[in-house]
Chain A
Amino acid sequence: MHYSGFKVIKEALTGHRGWGPAWRDATPKAQYDYVIIGGGGHGLATAYYLAKEFKQARIAVLEKGWIGGGNVGRNTTIIRSNYLLDGNEPFYEFSLKLWEGLEQELNYNAMVSQRGILNLIHSDAQRDAFIRRGNAMLLNGADAELLSTAQIVERYPFLNVNNARFPIKGGLAQHRGGTVRHDAVAWGYARAADRRGVDIIQNCEVTGFRIENGTCKGVETSRGFIGAGKVASCVAGSSSRLMEKAGMRLPIESHVLQAFVSEGLKPLLPGVITFGAGHFYCSQSDKGGLVFGGDLDGYNSYAQRGNLPVVEDVCEGGMAIFPNLGRARLLRMWGGIMDMSMDGSPIIDRTHIDGLYFNGGWCYGGFKATPASGYAYAHLLATDTPHKTATAYRFDRFATGHMIDEKGMGNQPNLH
């Protein structure tokens, strides 16, 4: 069923009896060409691009819970491509370009809103660093603009630009950045993949891999064995738990990141603001809630909930630049589990086991990468060569010394 304005009007006049399910509730077949483990944004995007761009093949997505129930429904919905390093920036800019055409591509309203993102500057040294970053973005075909304090005050008059410790001395803006309705990304990709024949199998947990003579033949699941030509892990947050079943140890720790939303307010915050020095960032959802977050809790966790010291720290950071935040009440807070990698960058690569592929290590930057991650992973699965924007995301970069460390923190995952 094609969604359109005409369809909405027709359904409105006929009692909404013509809407079918957005995707089939598929039952697992015995054998597929590709089995993708993980029905999150990245897994569904991988299935979609695999079906559309690369190979007409039998493809299944296995999801332990339900579509949209993991990190794709737990993030703070920001898209951007303001990276510095060559291994990253072309990939994230490719992702942003895919976001720009996503809704027409999927025939689904994902509420892509390019309202702009602003990174605040507090010192001369930081301005120099951000000018360098902005130039790197421009060289890679992204947009970037250095804003003065006066330009920021004009757009955001409520910001406290005279904070004693972190006065606002300017900002680096990416006007093409913004937000996307995160659930709709999962649903849109699921529906589009389903329309191309992908089997989306929910409530199907992978319990093990069948590996014979160094080749992966399929997966054992809670719904029986499913054979596969190629098996693709795509379960960021739980990557170590899954790959352990294949005997692999990963350059990853799992950490909990909390996010927050205030009660609904009238339109206040037109774009996304990040206050990196104070470990705080914020946007306003279309429902009016201020959506914000900050640092990891900092210790290994699979609990999907954090502790109160980080809540206090994030709110203090918010109050420092955004004093009127104190008049809003916190409505909800939650936690998601991040694959924190050893250099803060992801992995999209083959494994040492034939037929077993890996996508993970997204740290807390996976949402914005969803389209490019799916595209690049599909490319790798179909051709056994990395996509040109994702050649640096290799497993062996830690052994060879080719880390992609945007923050220069070294192998300490909770600092990335």
Chain B
Amino acid sequence: MLINHPILGPRDAAEFVYKGDAMLIHRPDWQADDALAQFTDYGYLRDNPAGLHRELWFHEQGDRSWLVVTRNTTTHEITKVELARDVARAEGRSR
């Protein structure tokens, strides 16, 4: 697989480390009343879809940026690659 890095261009997927579902950038609020239940879901439950999947890849053998890759889990086709930083900021996160 080739991952079209937004800064570096097409890179071999073997340069990356896979983390998992991109929802992992949404860490729950530890002060919420139901924080325990939220963290259990966050830590252990996954949508695991067959089809389009937004997921985190870390460019360990490259510029060490985190990417959000949209990939089809039934064909391995990658349709979108974003910097995780941009995704988080677009959703109102400051860091």
Task: Give chain A's interface residues, CB within 8 Å of chain B.
Answer: 238, 240-241, 244, 249-254, 298-303, 307, 309, 342, 398-399, 411-414
Contact = CB atoms under 8 A, between A and B. Distances in A.
A309 B47 contact: no
Contacts of B47: 240, 244, 249
Contacts of A342: 43-44
B18 A302 contact: no
Interface string B69-81: 0010111100000
A307 B76 contact: yes
Interface in B42-90: 43-50, 53, 55, 71, 73-76
A60 B55 CA distance: 38
29 contacts: A238-B50, A240-B46, A240-B48, A241-B48, A249-B45, A249-B47, A249-B48, A250-B45, A251-B46, A252-B46, A253-B20, A253-B48, A254-B50, A299-B55, A300-B20, A300-B53, A302-B74, A303-B73, A303-B75, A303-B76, A307-B13, A309-B13, A309-B14, A342-B44, A398-B43, A399-B44, A411-B43, A412-B19, A414-B18
Nearest to B71: A299
A399 B44 CA distance: 8
A410 to B, nearest CB: 9
Nearest to A300: B73
Interface of B: 1, 12-14, 18-21, 40-41, 43-50, 53, 55, 71, 73-76
Given A302-B74, A303-B76, A241 B50 contact: yes
Given A300-B55, A414-B18, 12 more contacts: A240-B46, A240-B47, A249-B46, A251-B45, A251-B46, A299-B13, A300-B20, A300-B53, A302-B50, A309-B12, A309-B13, A413-B20
A251 B21 CA distance: 12
B21 to A, nearest CB: 8
By DSSP majority rule, is chain B's interface helix, strand, loop, or mixed?
Answer: mixed
A298 B13 CA distance: 11
Secondary structure class of chain A's binding surface, majority of residues: mixed
A411 B74 CA distance: 23
Nearest to A248: B45
Closest CB pairs A-B (n = 10): A240-B48, A398-B44, A309-B14, A251-B44, A249-B45, A302-B50, A299-B18, A399-B40, A342-B44, A302-B74
A300 B74 CA distance: 9
Contacts of A399: 40, 44
Nearest to A401: B40
B29 to A, nearest CB: 18
Nearest to B45: A249
B20 A412 contact: yes
Contacts of A253: 20-21, 46, 48
A64 to B, nearest CB: 13
Contacts of B19: 412
A254 B48 contact: yes
A144 to B, nearest CB: 32
Contact of B48 (A250, A303, A411, A412): A250
A216 to B, nearest CB: 20
Contacts of B44: 251, 342, 398-399, 411
Contacts of B12: 309
A253 B20 CA distance: 9
Contacts of B13: 299, 307, 309
B73 A254 contact: yes
Contacts of A398: 40, 43-44
Contacts of B21: 253, 300
A394 to B, nearest CB: 13
Contact of A303 (B40, B46, B55, B74): B74
A303 B71 CA distance: 12
> Considering residues A240, A299, A303, A413, which has the most beta carbons from chain B within 10 angstroms of its beta carbon?
A299
A413 B50 CA distance: 17
Contacts of B55: 299-300
Contacts of B50: 238, 241, 254, 302
Contacts of B14: 309
B73 A302 contact: yes
Contacts of B76: 301, 303, 307
A270 B79 CA distance: 47
A301 B44 CA distance: 18
Contacts of B45: 249-251
Contact of A300 (B1, B40, B48): B48
